[in-house]
Each structure stands twice: as structure tokens, then as C-alpha cells.
Copies of this chain bind each other. A is one copy, B any other.
């Protein structure tokens, strides 16, 4: 089973990497970029009997930092 976890910084948490990209795009001459935020995507290939609950535990314990990050689990 393929699981995709998308991890983004919570709104309000400063994202220096996103800011750097925004700045770099501007320097390269791309106009109209209003904001950029960067996150992580983790694709897991897990056995079919892995529950949604297990995946949430993986996110809470390892994949994301729940203090500053939000995660979104997509199962395909």
C-alpha cells in the first residue's frame, strides 16, 4: 500500500527556506511570486494491514514535528 505524507510548517511559523526561494525567484527575474512555503513529502510503501492509526503514530513520533508542523496523510 502506498501512503503519502505531506508535511508543511504550520501557518505563522517562519519559513526561512520558503523566503529564500521567494527571494531567489525574484533575483532570477520571475515576477508576481507573492509567497513561497516549503514542506516535505514522504512516500511510504507499507504492508496492506497497516492501519491509518499506525501511520498517524509514525507521523507523530518521527516524520513530523507536531509542535510546528502539520501533516496530511493520503492513502492510495
The interface of chain A, by Cβ under 8 A from chain B, is: 6, 8, 18, 21, 24-25, 28, 30-47, 49-50, 54, 57-58, 61-63
Q: Are B21 and A34 closer than 8 Å at their CB atoms?
A: no
- Contact A33 B41, beta carbon cutoff 8 Å: no
Distance in angstroms from A54 CB to nearest chain B CB is 7
- Report whether A35 and B41 are in contact in the complex, using a CB–CB cutoff of 8 Å: no
Contacts of A31 in B (CB 8 A): 47
Q: A58 contacts which chain B residues (CB < 8 A)?
A: 25, 28, 30
Q: Which residues of B contact A57 (CB under 8 A)?
A: 30
From B35, B37, B45, A35 is in contact (CB under 8 Å) with B45
